[in-house]
Structure 1
Amino acid sequence: MTPEKFVALLEASKESKDWQPLFDIIPYFSYLGLRLENRDGSLICVLPEDKKFIGNPTLPALHGGVVGAFLESTALVHLFATQEVTRLPKIINITVEYLRSGKPVETYAEAVITKPGRRVANMRIEAWQGNRKKPIAAAHANFLVS
């Protein structure tokens, strides 16, 4: 997809608040089955319950790689929705903190830009399940945005 088509799709998604067409062009978003919900003015990414995400079947618990990918994907979605993006942001680095075992249930995440910049955006992302005050994972990430 050309950068012009990507920007046009992104702008159309922002206008319509329908992010699915944008998610469909990113294969890993489709694999994860991501959804975006607007709750009280906050953009919340949702990872659906799915057995394919289980890493330890004896607990059972979500695979750490899926949790990390979900956090990174949430940050990207937040950048798409809130910033003037003219191309796909590129991850510079991400540090994931695994705080507790994630059960194979619907999981939520929210990203916050802690320092927007012309070239680099610094972000904090948290994921939780039943209780938002008990996150299962958090991350700090830096993205190249221009």
Structure 2
Amino acid sequence: MTEGSSLELTAYARSLGIEVEREEDGLPVLAVDFGRNVEGRPGHFHGGATAGLLETAGYAALRTRLLAEGREPQLKPINITVQYLSAGRQKRTFALARITRLGRRNANLTVEAWQDDRTRPIASAVMNILMA
């Protein structure tokens, strides 16, 4: 993302190596390189690391949008559902969230993670977040 961005990722996200790659339509695209910190079975992403990338992308998108509106509520997960679509390989992996509904107290998001081809996601998630 551009210099001077106010988006700071969590310690957990940083420990996995997740970073903000760029912005797209005002929302952050996150990325993580393959390495020991995200490896599950040899040569593949760990499911927890994939879910961590999806969840981090969801919260990053929501925080970005809320800050742009001058809102800073505490975010609490209501429900996060992850679908694993194919194995993540030894490649850089990206994730982008879309806010499908933003209310006063609740937000609904969809998130996708992909590697080479954005039209072929390796995982997706639906997130329902309470804004207290």
Q: Does 1:71 align with 2:57?
A: no
Distance 2:58 2:65 in 1: 11
Q: Is the 8 A contact 2:28 2:57 kept in 1?
A: no
Pick the aligned partner of 1:82 from 52, 59, 65.
65
Q: Does 1:95 align with 2:81?
A: yes
Q: Is the 8 A contact 2:80 2:126 kept in 1?
A: yes
Pick the aligned partner of 1:108 from 94, 99, 110.
94
Distance 2:56 2:111 in 1: 10
Pick the aligned partner of 2:110 from 117, 121, 124.
124
Bigger relative contact order, structure 1 or 2 (CA pairs below 8 A, ≥6 apart): 2
Superposition CA RMSD, Å: 2.2
Deviation at 1:37, TM superposition (A): 2.7
Number of positions where the alignment pairs a residue of Structure 1 with one of Structure 2: 128
TM-score normalized by the length of structure 2: 0.86
Greater gyration radius: 1
Letter in 2 for 1:141: M
TM-score normalized by the length of structure 1: 0.79
Structure 1 runs (4+) greater than 6 angstroms displaced: none
Q: Is the 8 A contact 1:96 1:137 kept in 2?
A: yes
Q: Does 1:38 align with 2:22?
A: yes
Runs of at least 5 residues in structure 2 that lack an aligned partner in the other structure: none
Deviation at 1:40, TM superposition (A): 4.7
- Structure (1 or 2) with the greater helix fraction: 1
1:49 match: secondary structure: coil
